[in-house]
Amino acid sequence: MNMIGGGQGAFASAAQAAPAVAQVAAASMATQPMQGETISDPKPLIKANLATMGALEPGSVVMRISGFGAVPAKYDEKTKIVSYQPTTQPLRDKSYSVFITAKVAGKKVETSWSFDFDPNAPATSPTPDNTLPPVSVAPVATPTAAPTAVPTAAPAKH
């Protein structure tokens, strides 16, 4: 039995017609703001480390933000970080989604994540451009002296 086309036939055409790969930002993909985070800065630096997406084709990275559309994001091929900071149009809506598309070996790949905006939320510290994101460490209280007991007054009876 002879297989025409080297035995690839239907499999090759199915692979060529495969849809674009989409994923929610992987846990290993560092994003800023982080997935689900609530921020108060109306003009935040929005960025993601795309190293987990693979070997991206030069010039193929596009960032879209809900309410903004495609934005003029900068992609640094060396660090694999894509970033954008609104300059004229501040955030106003409560929720935002960020979508990043690119090409890997000629195929479209996409990732996305969401964050919330609340101008009354506690401010967060910005991270330097070359890191994503800083490790969050909760402050630990270290007593300088042994605690002393403070007498409490009994409630007054009327």
The total number of structural domains that make up the chain: 1
pLDDT at 11 over 60: no
Residue 148 lies in a domain: no
pLDDT at 99 over 60: yes
Residue 113 lies in a domain: yes
CATH number (domain holding residue 43) = 2.60.40.1220
Contact (Cβ atoms closer than 8 angstroms) between residue 107 and residue 18 = yes
**Which tops the pLDDT comparison, 153 or 63?**
63
Residue 56 lies in a domain: yes
Per residue, what are the HEC states of 70-139? EECCEEECCCCEEEECCCCCCCCCCEEEEEEEEEECCEEEEEEEEEEECCCCCCCCCCCCCCCCCCCCCC
The region that residue 2 occupies, defined by phi over 0 for left and psi between -120 and 50 for alpha, beta otherwise, is: beta
Whole-number pLDDT of residue 154:
53
Q: How distant, in Å, are the alpha carbons of 14, 40, 91 from that of 126?
A: 45, 11, 16
Buried b or exposed e, range 77-90, using 16+ CB within 10 angstroms: eebbbbbbebeeee
Global pTM value: 0.64
Two tokens, residue 87: 């300059």
Give the pLDDT confidence of 31-57 residue by residue, as tens digits. 999 999 999 999 999 999 999 999 999
Residue 153 lies in a domain: no
Q: Which domain holds residue 35?
A: 19-117
**Which tops the pLDDT comparison, 97 or 137?**
97
- The pLDDT confidence band at residue 84, using thresholds 50, 70 and 90, is very high
Residue 132 lies in a domain: no
User: How much of the chain, in percent, has pLDDT values that exceed 90?
Assistant: 54
Whole-number pLDDT of residue 132:
47
Residue 123 lies in a domain: no
Q: Measuring CA to CA, which residue among 33, 4, 1 is closest to residue 97?
A: 33
Residue 154 lies in a domain: no
